[in-house]
Amino acid sequence: MTSALPTTDRLRERALESLRRCGAALPGGADADAAARTPITGESLLPLARSAAGDVDAAVGAARRAFESWRTTPAPGRGALVRRLGDLLREHKADLADLVTIEAGKIRSEALGEVQEMIDVCEFAVGLSRQLYGRTMPSERPGHRLMETWHPLGVVGVVSAFNFPVAVWSWNTAIALVCGDTVVWKPSELTPLTALACDALLARAAADAGAPPDVHRLLLGARDVGERLVDDPRVALVSATGSVRMGREVGPRVAARFGRSLLELGGNNAAVVTPSADLDLATRGVVFSAAGTAGQRCTTLRRLIVHEDVADELLERVVDAYAKLPIGDPFDGTTLVGPLISARAHDAMRGALERAAADGGTVLAGGGRRLREAAPDAYYAEPAVVRMPAQTEVVREETFAPVLYAVTYRTYEEAIALNNGVPQGLSSSVFTRDQREAERFLAADGSDCGIANVNIGTSGAEIGGAFGGEKETGGGRESGSDAWRAYMRRATNTVNHSEELPLAQGVSFL
C-alpha cells in the first residue's frame, strides 16, 4: 500500500502558516545560504541564513548575561516560565506537529506524540521546580550540620539530531530552565523550521512570564556552528544528541576544556523473544519498534534475538505485518511509514542490505523503494527484515534506516550475550512469560543497556524515567527521574554551630 504525496508548494504553504501562528520570523533574505527541505518530496522549502561565527559568540554572551539574574530567580518562579511554555505548546500542538512532519517526515500520530512529549516534560519540570532537593547527612562532629545544595550551572549548549527535532530540545530546555540555567540551542541543520517555531514560543513565554529574553538563544547551521558552541568555555554543559561519530568529536573537545558533556548517541537495540513469549504481543511490539518512524529512532529495534523453537512462527507473523504496512505521505492518516530523511540514509540502507547478503543473510521482507517516480528526490523505503546466520559486523553497527536483523539462539545465556554483544547500549527488551527470564534480563548480569524492558518493544519511552544509554551511546541521562542533576552543580556545606572546632577523622591541630 502506498499513498500519494502532497506538492512541495502545499507543504511550503502549510509550514509558513504554522510558523506564522507560532510567531516565528524567518532569518532569510538576500544572504540566505541554507535551505529548509522536506523529505516528503525531497525538495527545498525555504531559503534561510545560517548563523555566522560572531552569532555564536553573541548568543553565548547574551545567555551568560541572562544567567546572572536567572540563577537567583527562585526555582518555583523559573517553573512559571516553563508552565507558560507548556500552555503555548498545548495551544500550538498541531502547528508544531505539522512542522515535524514536514521537516522530519514523521507520520501524523508520531509527530503529535512528539509534541505531547514536550508538553509532558514541561509538566514534569514545573513540578521539579519545587523539588530540587539536596540531602542532609549526619555529621561525625558534634554541633555540626553536613548538607548539600544544588545550584544552577550556567549556559547549557544543546546540540540536537534531526529525528526528534522538538522533543530532545524540550527535555533539555524545560529541565535546564527550572534548574536556573540558560540555553543556547543548535538544532539539526535538517530541521531549522521546527526550531524557529520552538524558539518563538519560548520567547513569547519568557515575555509573558517576565523572564529575561536571553534565557534562550537559537543558532542555525551545521557542524561548524555546533563546533563553535561546543568549544566556547562559557558553555558549562554541552548536551549533544546524535551519532556516535559526532559524540566522538564533541566529548573530547568539551573534556579538553574541563566542561561537562551529556551525550545521547546512537543505539543498536535488541529484543529477545523466548519460547514462552506471547507471540501476538511480541509481533506488535517488534513491528512498531522496528518499522515505526521508518526505523529512524535512536531506540529503533534493529536486532531480533529469537529462540530457535519460535523463530519461524514469529518471523512469519512479522513478515506478514510488514507486507501490510502503508508507506507514503506522512500526513495521510492511514500511513504508518513515512520517508527516510535523505538520499544518504537510503544509500546506507542499501549498503547494509548488500553487506548482510554477503554475510549470508536472507531478506525476508522489504528493502525496495516506493514512489520513486512521483518524487525522485524523496526516499520511501520498504522496511526490511533480514534473517542472519550470526551477529556479523553489519549487524553490530547502527544503520539509521528500517532494517531489522533476526538471529536465533538456543540458551538464554547466549541470548543475553548477543543482546550485549554490540558497541552501543541504549535500549533492549525481552518478550517472555517466564518470571525468571524477565528478572534475569533486568539483573546486573542481564542487559547492559540504559533501557531494559519486559514485554514491550525498545522504543517509545515515557518522559518520567531517565533516558539514555551506556557504552558508545555515551552514558548521558536526560528527561525524568533525577536526570536534572546533570544541569546543576552540587555544593557540600558543613556548618558548625558549636563553640568548638573538632577536625574530621579525629585529626588534632592547634
Active site residues: 264
DSSP-derived letter for residue 485 is G
405's grid cell = 536483523
Q: Is 169 in the site for ligand NAD (CB under 6 A)?
A: no
Smallest gap from residue 167 Cβ to ligand NAD (A): 9
Instruction: Please state, in angstroms and rounded to a whole number, the distance separating the CA atoms of residues 429 and 267.
Output: 13
Beta bridge partners of 397: none
Smallest gap from residue 251 Cβ to ligand NAD (A): 10
Q: Phi and psi (nearest 5°) for 269?
A: -85, 145
What percent of the residues of the chain are helix, what percent strand, and what percent coil, each to the nearest 5? 40, 20, 35
**For residues 379-418, which are near ligand NAD according to CB under 6 A?**
398, 400
Judged by CB under 6 A, which stretch of 5-13, 121-129, 259-267, 319-327 contacts ligand NAD? 259-267
Which of 105, 267, 285, 295: binder of ligand NAD (CB under 6 A)? 267
Q: Is 101 in the site for ligand NAD (CB under 6 A)?
A: no
Which of 25, 222, 323, 495: binder of ligand NAD (CB under 6 A)? 222
Judged by CB under 6 A, which stretch of 39-47, 127-135, 148-156, 260-268 contacts ligand NAD? 260-268
Q: Is 481 in the site for ligand NAD (CB under 6 A)?
A: no
Which of 21, 71, 151, 223: binder of ligand NAD (CB under 6 A)? 223
- The secondary structure of 193-249, three-state, reads HHHHHHHHHHHHHHHHHCCCHHHEEECCCCHHHHHHHHHCCCEEEEEEECCHHHHHH
Judged by CB under 6 A, which stretch of 22-30, 235-243, 276-284, 490-498 contacts ligand NAD? 235-243
Q: Is 243 in the site for ligand NAD (CB under 6 A)?
A: yes
Q: Which residue, among 143, 179, 173, has the nearest Cα to 160 in the 3D structure?
A: 173
Judged by CB under 6 A, which stretch of 37-45, 48-56, 239-247, 327-335 contacts ligand NAD? 239-247
Q: How many residues bind ligand NAD (CB under 6 A)?
A: 29
Residue 18 region by backbone torsions, left for phi larger than 0, else alpha for psi between -120 and 50, else beta:
alpha
CA end-to-end distance (rounded Å), the chain? 85
Nearer to ligand NAD, 355 or 489 (CB): 355
Which of 105, 242, 361, 383: binder of ligand NAD (CB under 6 A)? 242
Instruction: Please state, in angstroms and rounded to a whole number, the distance separating the CA atoms of residues 111 and 118.
Output: 11
* 6 three-class SS: coil
Q: Is 265 in the site for ligand NAD (CB under 6 A)?
A: yes
DSSP-derived letter for residue 503 is P
Q: Which residue, among 114, 141, 140, 104, has the nearest Cα to 11 in the 3D structure?
A: 104
Judged by CB under 6 A, which stretch of 56-64, 102-110, 146-154, 241-249 contacts ligand NAD? 241-249
Which of 38, 51, 163, 429: binder of ligand NAD (CB under 6 A)? 163
Instruction: Please state, in angstroms and rounded to a whole number, the distance separating the CA atoms of residues 187 and 202.
Output: 15
Nearer to ligand NAD, 212 or 330 (CB): 330
Which of 14, 473, 480, 484: binder of ligand NAD (CB under 6 A)? 473
* 478 three-class SS: strand
Q: Which residue, among 280, 325, 99, has the nearest Cα to 191 in the 3D structure?
A: 99
Which of 164, 322, 405, 431: binder of ligand NAD (CB under 6 A)? 164
Which of 45, 112, 237, 246: binder of ligand NAD (CB under 6 A)? 246
316's grid cell = 512469519
Which parts of this chain interact with ligand NAD (CB under 6 A)? 159-164, 186, 188-189, 222-223, 226-227, 230, 241-243, 246, 249-250, 264-267, 298, 398, 400, 426, 473
